[in-house]
Amino acid sequence: MPPTDPRSIAGDADRERLLLLLREHYARGQLDLDDMSQRVETVLVARYTDEAAAAISDLPLLSGPAPTGPATGSPKPGRLGQRRRHGQSREPGAGWVPTTERFRDPSTRAITRVWVDPADLSRHYVPEPDR
Amino acid sequence: MTIERDLGVAFGLVVRSMGAIKSIGAGFMAMRQGEVTQYTELLEDSRRHAVDRMIENARLLGANAIVAMRFDSSEIGTQLTEIVAYGTAVIAQPAS
């Protein structure tokens, strides 16, 4: 089986989240205006979330809670009644970048992929959509 | 892949309990032959947790990769399971 392309196309929510993070860095004085506009452009023209996330990948991690924005990157717990599992989410949050790490969850039998939130580099376990 | 620098050991540790009610369920399951799904789920979850902690620690060392990663586990008393994921944190460059 050939490795599947783990890239995810950047949508509005992804861009919004990354711009929010950039704004936070700018507000904390970690970026000057030139740098900021260059990074904003990177986010806006990127086709994939990994290209967009590159705009913040070399910045220090924001201390304190990362802003999540309206349509948010906070992990959604599983179905009601299902015990919440470590790092488990039903779907990827805004701005998350898929990794090549993939495995079959022994409890749910779902193929699960690891996604990374560029804001704090936390890892999240998201079942792959059926195809 | 070339390893540029060895940064030493990175590990992630987690100690988990099955919980009293699930333990009883698992105890009944264990009486018959076959997989004890309660334990599979607990250990799968714990391994993810340990790996995530190991990766976080490796990042703190400035690593971009971990080589020779292993899992280890043991029991503390009868209820608690300890899972540790460890490996060598390195700075690696992909082969060009």
pLDDT, one tens digit per residue, over A58-89 is 888 877 665 555 444 444 554 544 557 889 99
Q: pLDDT-derived band of residue A43, with 50, 70 and 90 as boundaries?
A: very high
The domain segmentation of chain B, as residue ranges, is 2-93
Average pLDDT (B23-32) is 85
Sort out which chain B residues have CB atoms less than 8 A from A107's CB and list them.
37, 40-41, 44
Range of the domain at A70: 12-127
Nearest residue of B to residue A109 by CA position? B41
Span A9-34, pLDDT tens digits: 999 999 999 999 999 999 999 899 99
Quote the minimal CA–CA distance from A117 to chain B in Å.
13
Nearest residue of A to residue B22 by CA position? A83
Q: How many domains does chain A have?
A: 1
Q: Is the CB of residue B23 less than 8 Å from the CB of residue B79?
A: yes
Asked whether residue A102 is assigned to any structural domain, the reply reads: yes
Residue by residue, DSSP assigns A20-62 as: HHHHHHHHTTSS-HHHHHHHHHHHHH-SBHHHHHHHHHTSPPP
> How far apart are the C-alpha atoms of A42 and A15, rounded to whole Å?
10
Asked whether residue A6 is assigned to any structural domain, the reply reads: no
Q: What is the mean pLDDT of chain A?
A: 84
ipTM metric: 0.82
CATH match of B2-93 with 3.40.50.970 = no
Quote the minimal CA–CA distance from B78 to chain A in Å.
22
Q: Is the CB of residue B15 less than 8 Å from the CB of residue B49?
A: no
**A87/B44 touch (CB, cutoff 8 Å), yes or no:** no
